[in-house]
Structure 1
């Protein structure tokens, strides 16, 4: 390629492609738990992207919005596309996200990219979700185990889908990088055996009513 061609290629690079160092997909399928086979195997997928921290080496930056607008929508689209290629949106039951900043950055930098609807809604809409995306955002060094908490994409009290995916990149994030992740699962825990949050609320309300009735009866006896 001649020099003019190289210049054109560079000009066509998007902001994310300029910032992106690498992207990885982690897939895990569970067939058995507690010595018992799963009725239906459960697959969990995490897509992780490593970008240069756009606020690195700038000291304290008051206004983060310009870089959020520049990076978040394209990152959300790219990562979501990678994820639904592995687990189609209609199969997704649980989801979540995470962001970790390298040791030279602020946790606010990690939070800034994932805590915007310009990032999250792309993922949520692609899998027909309505619930908020649970998250972690921390500051870590390379190779740290990263947790991606998940909940059911529409039934937030469904405890069977309170799950967590974990992964690690041995070389990320570097001090001047941010590691971002989205996760999804086509099921909850393999053998769920605890009540949903709403069942607890109903039982506790019944218990309270029974106690009140008992107290009233004792008082009037």
Structure 2
């Protein structure tokens, strides 16, 4: 059975001034959120999570990706991306993880935005109004620190004890006035091969 969705939420924030200085390019961050019934609620410890993953994850990934693309104006506009899940207090963190850590969920988003990087993530357990944090990173370059961002919000009535909050996040742009360089400068300064960071 597909996910039983109680509500959806589209969160958009735009930063125009940061550190008292006007951003040369405003930063837009978008979160697409679904509140669903935990498909394993009331079943005790479930050994095989796969059937419900296959039932729920693809539709959630497709729907949330569509919400992001509509708000961003298309996949090409998305620069940073990530995902998150919060399971209600009657569930296991594994339940949130099961729905977001499957290619059946994430590949909808990756393919739609033409990404190469893995999807940054959080998966937690909490009550209604628990903080939802969606870490972001550049969709094509995991070392591009300007796009290390976090979307923060909460849903006042979710997750309920037997619910899961599932979310995708996106940024158009990076941190205004970013000035800490990228990971590659550190690697060079520390004497590491940028193409093979484990080598000294």
Bin the TM-score by the shorter chain.
over 0.9
Q: Could you tell me how far 1:41 is from its partner in structure 2?
A: 0.7
- 4+ runs deviating over 2 angstroms: none
- Determine whether 1:15 maps to 2:2: yes
In the alignment, what sits opposite 1:24?
9
Q: Could you tell me how far 1:70 is from its partner in structure 2?
A: 0.4
- Determine whether 1:175 maps to 2:149: no
> Which of 69, 74, 96 matches 2:59?
74
Larger radius of gyration: 1
Unpaired runs of 5+ residues, structure 2, are: 193-200
Q: How does 1:37-56 map to 2 (within 5 A)?
A: 37-56=22-41
Q: Per-residue displacement from partner, 1:19-72 (whole Å, max 9, x unpaired)?
A: 100011000000010011011111100000000000000000000000000010
After superposition, the CA RMSD in angstroms is: 1.0
- Name the CA distance, whole Å, in 1 between partners of 2:122 and 2:129: 16
Q: Given the two structures, how large is their TM-score scaled by the length of structure 2?
A: 0.94
Higher strand share: 2
- Name the CA distance, whole Å, in 2 between partners of 1:140 and 1:185: 25
Q: Could you tell me how far 1:111 is from its partner in structure 2?
A: 0.2
Higher helix share: 1
Q: Given the two structures, how large is their TM-score scaled by the length of structure 1?
A: 0.85
* Aligned residue pair count: 191
In the alignment, what sits opposite 1:188?
174
